[in-house]
């Protein structure tokens, strides 16, 4: 399971302070988080682990402190997000490796990216 996650809702997901997933690459198995969540911070960096909330216009409405992996983010938990993050990271790394192998072996099709190997 991943130990750190920073989710910028609609933008990126940073796993373990270094593996970044673009929002479009999150896949269909990511636990849902509400549109009113701007950001989820769960890491060991300075500052509070928290959910940063926003309204429908994108204006910040306050923060919710997070203290345990069992804390809720909408209908999911930090633990579920960390588990999903580790799984998705592995899927992407496997797809990237398969794409590199196809490139090196000359078996990839023109225009293919690692996303074609998911």
pLDDT of residue 44: 85
pLDDT of residue 35: 94
Cα separation, 25 vs 12, in Å, equals 9
Cα separation, 65 vs 100, in Å, equals 41
Contact 50, 63 (CB under 8 A): yes
Contact 100, 116 (CB under 8 A): no
Kindly report the backbone phi and psi dihedral angles of residue 38, in degrees, each rounded to the nearest multiple of 5, phi listed first.
Answer: -85, -45
For residue 51, what are the CA distances in angstroms to 21, 33, 48, 61, 69? 19, 11, 9, 11, 13
Mean pLDDT of each 10-residue bin along the chain, 118 residues long: 95 96 96 96 91 95 96 97 98 96 88 92
pLDDT of residue 46: 82
pLDDT of residue 106: 86
pLDDT of residue 41: 97
């Amino acid at each position: 399971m991943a130990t750190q996650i920073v989710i910028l809702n609609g933008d990126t997901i940073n796993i373990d302070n270094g593996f970044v997933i673009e929002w479009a690459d999150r896949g269909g198995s990511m636990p849902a988080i509400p549109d009113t969540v701007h950001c989820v911070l769960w890491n060991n960096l300075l500052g509070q682990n928290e959910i940063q909330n926003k309204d429908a216009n994108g204006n910040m409405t306050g923060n919710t402190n997070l203290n345990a992996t069992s804390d809720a983010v909408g209908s999911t938990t930090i633990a579920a997000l960390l588990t999903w993050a580790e799984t998705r990271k592995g899927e992407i790394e496997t797809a990237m490796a398969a794409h590199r192998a196809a490139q090196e072996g000359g078996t990839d099709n023109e225009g293919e990216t690692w996303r074609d190997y998911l």
